[in-house]
Chains A and B, each alone.
Chain A
Amino acid sequence: MKSYLKMVLSVVVLLWGATAFAQNKVTGTIEDADGPLMGASVLVKGTTVGTISDLDGHYVIEANVGDQLEFSYMGYKSQTITVTGNTIDVTMAEDTEVLSEVVVTAMGIKRDRKALGYEVGEVKGDELTKAKEVNVANSLAGRVAGLVVQGTAGGASGSTRVMLRGTTEITGNNQPLYVIDGVPMDNTNFGSAGTEGGYDLGDGISAINPDDIESMSVLKGPAAAALYGSRASHGVILITTKKANTGDAKWSVEYNGTLTFDSQLSKWDNVQQVYGMGSKGMYNVDAVSNTNKSWGPKADGGLTLRYYDGQEHPYLIIPNNTANFFQLGLTANNTAVISMNTGKTGIRFTYSDMRNRDILPNSNMSRNTLNLRANTSLGPVDLDFNVNYTHEDVKNRPALGDDKSNVGKNLMTLSTTYNQEWLKNYEDANGEYQNWNGMDPYNVNPYWDINKNKNQSYKHLLRMNGKIVYNIIPQLKVQATVGAEINRFEFSDFKYPTTPGYESGRLQNSYFNNRMINAELLGIYTDTWGDFDFTATAGANVYDVHNQTVVNTGTDMSIREVVAMSSFEEQSVEESTYNKRIVSVFGSANLGWRHMLYLDATVRGDKSSALGSGKNLYVYPSVSGSFVFSELIKSNRKVLPYGKVRLSWAEVGSDTDPYQLSLRYAKSQFGYPGYSISSVYGNTMPNADLKPTRTRSWETGFETKWCNQRISLDFTFYHQVSRDQILGMAASAASGYDYRMINAGAILNQGFEITFGARLVQTKDFSWDLNINWSKNNNKVLKLTDENPELELAKATWCNVYVSAREGEQYGSICGPALARNADGRVIVDATTGLPTFTTENKVLGNAQWDWTGGLSTTLRWRMLTLTALFDVKVGADIFSMSERASFETGKAKETLVGRAEWYASEEARKAAGVTSITEWRKAEVNNGQYGGYLVDGVIDNGDGTYRENNIYINPEDYWYEVSRKSPELFIYDNSYIKCRELTLTLDFPREWLDKKGIVKHVGISFVARNPFIIWKNIKDIDPDAQYNTSGLGLEYGSLPSRRSYGLNFNIKF
């Protein structure tokens, strides 16, 4: 990597020297109506030669007669003047247009930012195209205040959790709605890992090619999103894709390629290096048991053990054992864009090819995206069509969480003396599973899993939309938009016979056929009356989704050579569907007065098929306003050119999943000749009386730009309460149902968002931009039900831990039994065993929500070089790390060394002294000071309300076994972090380096890095973003190493 950098730099230096040969000096003064302007920039057009004006507005630049000089200053209109002599004085005019920043709002309507009574975040497409993420949603991390991105341990092929302003629904996915060019996208996650493990099958947003994104607008609050209705109750991310703009050249061709190397960011080799495989200080001769325990004797190499395959290996610590299992990953991303336009017609075609070889051996994926956009105007009618086809092929997704096949989990507990490479001998002469550890089904040989057990997925996604706009009169247009998305996803998971847990073999083929149609008719009327600007819209929308899933499972494999359903003796089928329709009408009115006062109102009515008659129609309004107070202080443009305050209020209703209203019965998926087996379907009690959830919110804030717009500061406060949540509330199993659907509860989200931007330095050749965003969200569960103040959200496999919504607590409480403590907070130790004691009731031991999150991005430009860096900060959430728990239980954590040598010595002395009873040995007169081991820091109950200091030494193995099984308390960690998300160093070739004819329009080379390093974190061995699914917040288990990537990006445009 270093050598690449060197090369790039030397080229830069070389070319730099070659360009410094201009002879003629041009000088002058730059002023505005009030006097000289300092810091205005002057550039010789088409070159990188430039300067800026000094304190008195003076500048000096070398330019030849005939060259064009471009004068620019933020907040002023740029001017281009051809050099005719040696002096050019310029008077700059204020640019009122610059203040009219246009943003895309609901229904795709472009509006002046100052007219908005709510906060809209924006991300430009070009921020996403250099250091690419395989899933573009990951690129949003740290860029927008109040937008939180969490990846999963699933890696490149996995899904991403995006949240705007916290959790608004107690259950449910809480992810924003993505709208692409006016058509809502189906972001279905076909599968994610749960308590028992599983695979992350990815989501819909991952199919978007960053090269096609023009911009993303983030509508965080209900007021912004009210027009999208119930699907938008968690906010909306509007994606506007690129099209061939009129005004561009007749044709253009662009190539954008990125090649990155992916290596391990977090590793699992920070383990104790003293003791080896075994238990109680002893190793097992057979080397088949205790393979995942490092409680054996000191590994000094004096021993040789015979392993499962008859091989003998010395009993020695293996360094970097886990890391050596993984390989160097590789991601190549190549995109070609052809764009043409002939006056009124534009066509843009993109082809993109992404290939990824994961750090997990035998795992790889590829994705091809074809995108065609065509737009034209026929008199008063504008037409715009877009077709996108994505094909994605993933081989061997990693199994996550407590899955038997989770390679990470199975490696991280492997004993310190057990070289994972010995497991390469995974099959016997018959191709069957080699029993290496007593057929422990929870620790399957990872080499077996990656070589014999295969999974594969194919995704074919076709997304189409067409828009017709009829400009009836200049003030009124009517547009019809129809979008459809057809998503066919196949996932095949194969377990070879003899795999522990799947002894007879198993093949499961899942077929997902999803179809979504969205049709919309919208009328827009815009007019001006005197000082008033007026816009009104009215529209109707039909959304129809029809998803069908078929899962075929084959067991009892009789033909092992062919992995096909017909090779299995026993086959079963499960079918399910998800059908829903929402029909809506909506309207809005915006009134503006003198570009200073704005008032907006919207109303929308939805009718959803998922709710029962009489409850399925719900109407909700929003009102917002803004006041651009800087209009009143026009004289002060340099100090405060722009200032606005805003206020909004909104309500949004939302429905639920289909089929929650009445009982269903399902036939068993297994056939039993002569009999029929059927039962009530599902474990959730339906409820015909469900009504829509209501979210009410208000939001206020200001937006300001200072010092000739070099500094901007925005602030938002929001308050949002969702009531009548549609929940699957836990019920007594004795009622026949584990859960029942009800309307209950209220959840609060209240917080601040601050965005700060500044151009800190601007000189002739150098500029430095800094953007900071910060947000704090209070996500409190105000109320559940009268009978039940707690709702379990996710359960862990260990220590009776669950994550819950508890009344009065922050959403996402991590609960479980705690260490029992006396009034002084000291751990109470059992007087006979010397082990700590535990509470029987479950306590809140942590919380999975961030206290605050933030992002920092900075851009440094020096002539043709640009350096950008993006940092992501998240503070205050907790995580229950079952990986750490396992490392203590299995004696791998360094902390487990405490007391070991002392205990083994004490036991030897006891045996030598012929004392059989340990209680006897504890007596000072018996043990002669030879008694030692691990001492729990705690007290023993004297039984009379007093406590004495614990003095019972125990085997540290017993201690860690006890605490890692009975309470999660010691394994809940602060999950705060500061990560460097992205680094790019770009060299944009100046025009004069390119060919004279101007065929090549742009060449840029970038060094790029994604997730290059974690600056700070509190949890030692795992990546804080290692949760195994997108809903079980705060739980981690067996995460694979996270990936860091470095590489090069090359862009050329003709």
Chain B
Amino acid sequence: MKMKKKLFILFALAAVLVSCSDKIYEEINTDPTKVSEANPSAQLTFAELQLFGDMNYVDVHRLYTYAFTQHLMGCWNTTNYGGQHRMDNNEMARPWNNLYPGAIRNLTDAINSTKDDAKQANVHAAARILRVYVGGLMTDVYGDVPYSEAGMGYISGKVTPAYDKQEDIYRSFFEELKEAAKLFDNEAAAITSDPLFEGNLAQWKLFANSLRLRYAMRISDVLPDLAKAEFKAALEDGVMLSAADDACVKHMNISYSFGQESYKDFRGNAMAKYFFGNDPANNPTYICQTMWEQLYKNNDPRTKRLCRFYIDDFINISTGDGRIDMTDAVVATQDANPSAKVIWLIAPGMFSWDNWPDYSQAAVAGSPIVTAVEAVQAAHPGFDPASNPRWLMPKLANNFLRSDNPGVLMTYAEVCFLRAEAAVYEWTGDNAKEMYELGIRASMDFLSNHYGVDAVTDGEFAAYLAEPTVAWGTIKEQQRSQINTQAWILHFHNPAEAWANIRRADFPKLTPPDPKYLIDGTEIPVRLCYPQSEAKDNQAEYEAARARVEGGYSWNAHLWWDTK
């Protein structure tokens, strides 16, 4: 009997333990170091910073985009992938694998969590506008992409999102931007964290409307009527009117590092970090011959503001200090001796060492170069100008290597060029020439506004406008060429847009690299391929999207808006 009683107690105790309430269990299973409620404004900030701050994503620009736009060339990474048309599935997947689980997931989540809360109308609208922007980046890289169902995995349970047709995506952009811009409400809660516009609702609206200009122009070849209508409507709703309205994400000055944490740290401008490079002394950012010649041959006052000639033998590889600037001497020597081989250039497809400079050819007797070298030798005895003559190749100026450089989403200068081209098409009543010249001026001011280079003087500007290739042309195709060549120079700071606009406008005409350098195709690729993981994880949608590409899916198959 006694024993039975004890057994009973034992079982009673056990029963109590198991019936432990689920509430306690839920508490145990709640991570005390994470929050379960979203802060949509902080998610918006995350997305804004990712566009230029995520080293994993922006690497695609160093590897492919800048090679395709022929802004840069010669650095191992740029030449090896984009420069030589080397298809690499992992590298091509960078936008996909980073922006979908990053900006798009968080914006989608923020939009969802604020959709029924009138107080959050402003952050809701801003998130919707930025989601359009990121969707634009994706579709301009890959063509048909998951958009309407993207980032919805947890919200809707959709883990195999459909690939929307690019046309549908673009059509939805206009509606979404219009709708979102209308939602801004001064009575609702302010956007508390916003390194793009600091919560300035008026600027958000201008940005939304200006984006409509961009997207309208993008479809000008395929849907000209819609393009015109949307362009005019956007203009009427109000677009960026000065550099004060530039959509530039504010980045922070952080120390340069390629360590593991840097890949999670979006605060600094990662593009600038790559420009600095992990081996600045040996593998710096060289300017491509195409870009250099455009600037130099047309006496562009931006030439020496963007491109510099540095001796890097004494560089401090962690700070970048100690570069010896030889620009004035090199350029002056070249200017004085046009036939001499003073400046050495890297043609598309070349590695920096494929056109290894020869100092003896550059050292014109009595030239500024020789004098400058003597000065260097005085400070650094034993310096041999011929041993490492990389300094005769143009490199990106130090001003553009700082991690607090802005992340450029859209600028007033771009709006001017879009309006100029629309005027050429006679969509609007704008004066095309006036817009073109305003655009050039704004492009030049953009450098001094954001990068600390000397402002271009009125005299320099006037002289440049008088350059034969720059002076406003008479034939429409020439005008389009001039506008879009200027846009190309401007978009050096927004590589995604630079590549998209070249493909859309077909200006400037870029010559593909010499076939002897090329691996996968002789034409400059016009899209990146979908990640191979999609064939496994989203097979039906992936195959359907590839099948829709006329003439067979490849990176030479044109996007819907890119008619040729």
Contact = CB atoms under 8 A, between A and B. Distances in A.
A500 B279 CA distance: 8
A438 B317 CA distance: 11
B254 A570 contact: yes
A545 B493 CA distance: 51
Interface stretch (B31-39, B119-127, B292-300, B470-478): B31-39
A441 B318 CA distance: 13
A664 B7 contact: no
Interface stretch (A231-239, A385-393, A574-582, A855-863): A574-582
B259 A677 contact: no
A732 B538 contact: yes
A4 interface: no
B14 A585 contact: yes
A605 B18 contact: yes
Contact of A613 (B2, B7, B22, B252): B22
Contacts of B367: none
Given A501-B259, A506-B259, A616-B22, A735 B318 contact: no
Given A501-B259, A678-B42, A732 B537 contact: yes
B45 interface: yes
A478 B18 contact: no
Contacts of A683: 101
Given A662-B36, A664-B34, A678-B43, 5 more contacts: A501-B258, A617-B18, A658-B28, A680-B43, A734-B538
A1023 to B, nearest CB: 28
B255 A569 contact: yes
Nearest to B279: A439
B431 interface: no
B153 A737 contact: yes
Interface string B133-150: 000000000000110011
A960 to B, nearest CB: 18
B6 A503 contact: no
Contacts of B283: 438-439
B34 A735 contact: no
B195 interface: yes
A736 B26 CA distance: 25
Contact of B152 (A616, A680, A735): A735
B18 A576 contact: no
A989 B269 CA distance: 74
B253 to A, nearest CB: 11
22 contacts: A439-B317, A501-B259, A501-B278, A538-B7, A570-B255, A572-B261, A609-B24, A658-B31, A665-B36, A667-B35, A672-B252, A680-B38, A680-B106, A686-B154, A731-B159, A731-B537, A732-B541, A733-B96, A733-B97, A735-B151, A735-B158, A736-B100
B41 interface: yes
B531 interface: yes
Contact of B534 (A575, A609, A732): A732
A577 B31 CA distance: 7
Interface string A316-343: 0000000000000000000000000000
Contacts of B154: 663, 680, 685-686, 736-737
A730 B537 contact: yes
Contacts of B252: 672
A656 to B, nearest CB: 10
B161 interface: yes
B256 interface: yes
A610 interface: yes
Contacts of A502: 257-259
B56 to A, nearest CB: 12
Contacts of B90: 800
B18 to A, nearest CB: 5
A249 to B, nearest CB: 38
Contact of B282 (A439, A501, A677): A439
B538 to A, nearest CB: 4
Contact of A439 (B41, B97, B195, B278): B278
Contacts of B11: 538, 585
Interface of A: 196, 435, 438-441, 472-473, 476, 478, 495, 497-498, 500-504, 506, 521, 523, 525, 538-540, 542, 553, 555-556, 569-570, 572, 575-577, 579-581, 583-585, 605, 607, 609-610, 613, 616-617, 658-659, 661-670, 672, 674-681, 683, 685-686, 730-738, 740, 787-788, 790, 800
A958 to B, nearest CB: 13
Given A734-B100, A734-B145, A788-B537, A607 B18 contact: yes
A440 B195 CA distance: 35
Interface residues of B, number: 90
B150 to A, nearest CB: 5
Nearest to B534: A732
A435 B17 CA distance: 64
Nearest to A606: B18
Contacts of B106: 679-680
B39 A678 contact: yes
A540 B537 CA distance: 44
Contact of B25 (A581, A584, A672, A674): A581
A787 B160 contact: yes
Contact of A736 (B7, B108, B160, B256): B108
B281 A439 contact: yes
Contacts of A665: 34-39, 43
Contact of B32 (A473, A498, A577, A788): A577
Nearest to B540: A787
Q: Top 8 nearest A-B pairs by Cβ distance?
A: A736-B105, A735-B153, A556-B255, A678-B42, A732-B538, A540-B14, A734-B146, A664-B34
A51 B406 CA distance: 92
Nearest to A580: B28
Highest count of chain B CB atoms <10 Å: which of A661, A665, A787: A665
B533 interface: yes
B519 to A, nearest CB: 10
A579 B34 CA distance: 13
B91 interface: no
Given A667-B42, A736-B104, A498 B317 contact: yes
B378 interface: no
A523 B154 CA distance: 47
Contacts of B150: 734-736
B20 A555 contact: no
B379 interface: no
A441 B257 CA distance: 12
Contacts of A686: 154
B556 interface: no
Contacts of A787: 160, 539
Interface string B382-406: 0000000000000000000000000
Nearest to A476: B3
Contacts of B531: 733
Contacts of A196: 260
B299 to A, nearest CB: 36
Contact of B6 (A523, A539, A605, A667): A523
Contact of B13 (A540, A617, A737, A738): A540
Interface in B47-76: 49
B536 interface: yes
B537 A504 contact: no
A66 B195 CA distance: 99
A552 B139 CA distance: 39
B100 to A, nearest CB: 5
Contacts of A579: 28-29, 31-32
Highest count of chain B CB atoms <10 Å: which of A476, A609, A675: A675
Contacts of B192: 676
A639 B558 CA distance: 84
B266 interface: yes
Highest count of chain A CB atoms <10 Å: which of B6, B10, B15, B192: B10
B246 interface: no
A577 B33 contact: yes
B31 to A, nearest CB: 5
A920 to B, nearest CB: 15
A670 B17 contact: no
B10 A495 contact: no
